[in-house]
Amino acid sequence: MKAVNSPIGAAVERVEDYRFLRGEGEYVGDLRPTDLLYAVVLRSPIAHGILTSIDVSRAKALPGVVGVYTAIDIGAQIPTIPLRMEPHPDYLPFEQPVIAFERVRYVGEPVALVVAESQSIAEDALDVICLDIEPLPAVVTCAQSEAVQTLLFSNTFSNSPATLVGWKGDPDPVFETAPYVRKETFRTHRHSAVPMETRGLVAEWDEETGHLTVSGAAKVPFHNRKTLASLIGLPVENVTMLEKDVGGGFGVRGEFYPEDYLIPFAARAIGRPVRWVEDRRESLMATNHSREAECELEIACDKDGHILALRGKSSVNMGAYVRTTGTTPPRNIAQVLSGPYRIPHLRSEVAMRMTNKTPSASYRGPGRFESDFFRERLLELVAKDFGLDPVEFRRRNLVSEAEMPYPLATVAPHNIVSECDSGDYMITLQRCLEEFGWAEKYPLRGRLIDGRYHGVAIGCYLEGAASGKEFARLQLEPDGRYSVFIGSSGIGQGLETVMTQIAADALGVPMTRISGVRHGSTNLLKNGVGAFSSRSVVMGGSAILVAAKEMRAQIAFRASTLLGCSAESVEIGDERVVGPDGRAIDLGAVAGSGLSVDGSFSTPKRTYSYGSHAAHVSVDPRTGQVHLEDYVAVEDVGRIINPETLHGQCIGAIVQGLGGTLLEHLVYDENGQLLTGTFADYMMPTATDFTKIRVVALEMKPSPNNPLGAKGAGEGGIIPVGGVIANAVASALSSFGVEPNELPLSPPRVWRMLETARANL
């Protein structure tokens, strides 16, 4: 066991916050290299149509306009953006071109790029571009996509790139003989992350060296460097991605978008630095959307309420193209539909449906938020059928610690296999009940108090994370302090703080001996992977452990040479190395001009955090408004690096989940026009909306899959929120028979459900 005052486990303040509080952060919008030009994107105003002509002559003639680029300027062969996750030949026809040509497929698709001496000149130039698009019928829903009355890609025979199948056992025979079977349909709505800082980048081309530098990389800089080099026709070593400070990511920031090609292309063509930063309207219409899915889910149980089998048929509205992580939500729906429950037989078919909406891809807890809502709503209905307390029904079906590692569904056609690594799901359930005060609040179900109906609910979930590989370097500097370089990326999650703690702990020194953590940029390490799937601590932290072990060995060897003793006999202190005879040498002298050690960590096995959330809500029957009275979250993350940063991650994720469940909704009309493209229409939670949230983090069951024993913990807070809140609303409105099987639970929707229920009473 580590000492209580060891760096790991300490609730230290974020080290990166000092520069932010002093106004010394450096974001894309702060970058102003010499001779900087400004870029804006002309986007399609039509959801689906034939691009018949683009006349840019007037725009080019405007004083201050330096360049206007359309598909014809890119070349005869327009590159398409490859998938980063689960690439497959079947997806190739559905990849997004870097700029629209011949046809546009969603409102917001880039059709031209203007570069000018100022932002205002570039925006003025957009207004004089003559764009002629012949409208085609818009495909907006999954049902329209499946019907194929309009084929969205002429070189295909379907609007569905694939149907993913998660399978375990054989559920069909079980359903034929099971004493209890129930089927329901559920829907989750389209919404997405809305980071405080929108996407942006600065591209600089050095003609003399043939080198391209792109600032503003986030999440996966090394992958994006490789992609950009391939698409733009440069050796990968001729491209550098620099990571600056990032104002939030949540899965949508940092993937490769059309602009990640267009801005470097323009900088190379013009020979001057070019900057582009999207405005909020662009962000809402062009940055990845997520969550829109529907599921017909069927469950089979024995007479005592034990789950025998689960089978579901889902459709995910993918939008216009399969983007870099577009397969992640449907894959997770296929694989983690069972959650933390013992379900021996399962089949989950998830059809990917292309439509004329903004492409959909990963957003914090992708596919898990949706599948948790589907499953937890169904379990609540089943418990009611059996006359069982919802907690008891879950207890009967939770996977036990003795069953670990517990296999999840295998996903075809990618043959993705995974298993829960460790855990005692009863612990988090029981702790959640106690912290929430379940016994005292349970009698409130359906009661009318001061004009509001009250309800409570609890749900259980898994948070899968972290596999693959990550890289790190430790450097002992001439002043005797250590520098840390990590392939993981900082997207606002406190990376520098936790990596400082891990490095200090592994090296056996105070945190003050770590001079800094540098991350993400491709000029720091030969390779790196990035920040996604809650992997930074697990993978990056483990890579630091590997490097730290080698660093201590190298220090001991160098010091033993200088002290004339064996490496095994020296003692490495905070600032000096001491030999067996008491002679000492400063670490700076050991370092000489510098001592650098690389390390990496890889594993094919994922970690699985787990937990339980409970909610107490009240519903105003006059308006349909859902008010959060209390919310408790308990999660076991294996090992806690910093309880304060973990607490912030969980609170923030819960608020995002509440916003997505109760407020946020990207609404389209029948023509594929986005109706909620500004903050006047797209409702976001504010600091006063959800004030009663409590979080408990545990480290009961470390992961056996990495040397830290840590598990991913960046997404658990958001995953169960939709299901828990929906079940709490059902509990509150039980006297009306309201069953909210579709999100969001906005006031108008809840009010309409109540009005329908009242009419049927």
**pLDDT of 156 higher than 80:** yes
User: Model confidence at 21, in pLDDT bands (50, 70, 90)?
Assistant: very high
> What pLDDT sits at residue 445?
97
**pLDDT of 281 higher than 60:** yes
Contact in structure between 343 and 309 (CB atoms under 8 Å): yes
Tell me which residue of 197, 198, 196 sits closest to 287, measured CA to CA. Answer: 198
pLDDT above 90 covers a percentage of the chain that reads 98
> What pLDDT sits at residue 294?
98
Q: Is the peptide bond before 744 cis (omega within 30 degrees of 0)?
A: yes
Q: Is the peptide bond before 405 cis (omega within 30 degrees of 0)?
A: yes
β-bridge mates for residue 483, sequence order = 475, 516
User: Model confidence at 760, in pLDDT bands (50, 70, 90)?
Assistant: confident
β-bridge mates for residue 115, sequence order = 39, 67
Give the SS3 label for residue 609.
strand
The phi, psi pair for 653, rounded to 5°, reads -65, -40
d(CA 490, CA 471): 14
Question: Taking CA 531 as the corner, what is the angle to CA 712 and CA 351, rounded to the nearest 5 degrees?
Answer: 80
pLDDT in tens, 676-695: 999 999 999 999 999 999 99
Mean pLDDT of 713-727: 97
| Dihedral of the alpha carbons of 39, 45, 51, 57, in degrees to the nearest 10 | -40
> What pLDDT sits at residue 593?
83
Tell me which residue of 200, 139, 503 sits closest to 357, measured CA to CA. Answer: 139
User: Model confidence at 6, in pLDDT bands (50, 70, 90)?
Assistant: confident
> What pLDDT sits at residue 89?
95
User: Model confidence at 537, in pLDDT bands (50, 70, 90)?
Assistant: very high
**pLDDT of 559 higher than 90:** yes
User: Model confidence at 24, in pLDDT bands (50, 70, 90)?
Assistant: very high
How many Cα atoms sit within 13 Å of 537 on the Cβ side?
28
pTM attached to this predicted model: 0.96
DSSP state of 737: T
Mean pLDDT of 287-309: 98
> What pLDDT sits at residue 591?
94
pLDDT in tens, 456-495: 999 999 999 999 999 999 999 999 999 999 999 999 999 9
d(CA 383, CA 179): 15
Tell me which residue of 327, 413, 333 sits closest to 369, measured CA to CA. Answer: 333
Could you give the maximum distance between any two Cα atoms of the chain, in Å?
92
d(CA 501, CA 503): 6
**pLDDT of 4 higher than 90:** no
CB-based burial, 356-366: b 16+ in 10 Å, e otherwise:
bbbbbbbbbbb
β-bridge mates for residue 307, sequence order = 301
pLDDT above 70 covers a percentage of the chain that reads 99
User: Model confidence at 539, in pLDDT bands (50, 70, 90)?
Assistant: very high
Structure tokens at 206: 């050095």
Give the SS3 label for residue 443.
helix
| Dihedral of the alpha carbons of 195, 120, 49, 266, in degrees to the nearest 10 | -80
d(CA 164, CA 333): 9
Domains annotated on the chain, with CATH = 17-26+468-603 (3.30.365.10), 32-136+193-286 (3.90.1170.50), 138-192+288-414 (3.30.365.10), 421-466+607-761 (3.30.365.10)
Contact in structure between 317 and 190 (CB atoms under 8 Å): yes
**pLDDT of 178 higher than 90:** yes
Mean pLDDT of 321-348: 98
> What pLDDT sits at residue 594?
84
Q: Is the peptide bond before 366 cis (omega within 30 degrees of 0)?
A: no
The phi, psi pair for 543, rounded to 5°, reads -65, -35
> What pLDDT sits at residue 597?
97
d(CA 663, CA 192): 12
**Mean pLDDT score of the chain, rounded to an integer?**
96
d(CA 606, CA 268): 41
Query: How many Å separate Cα 320 from the centre of its chain?
Result: 20
Tokens 């900082």 appear where? Answer: 490
> What pLDDT sits at residue 2?
39
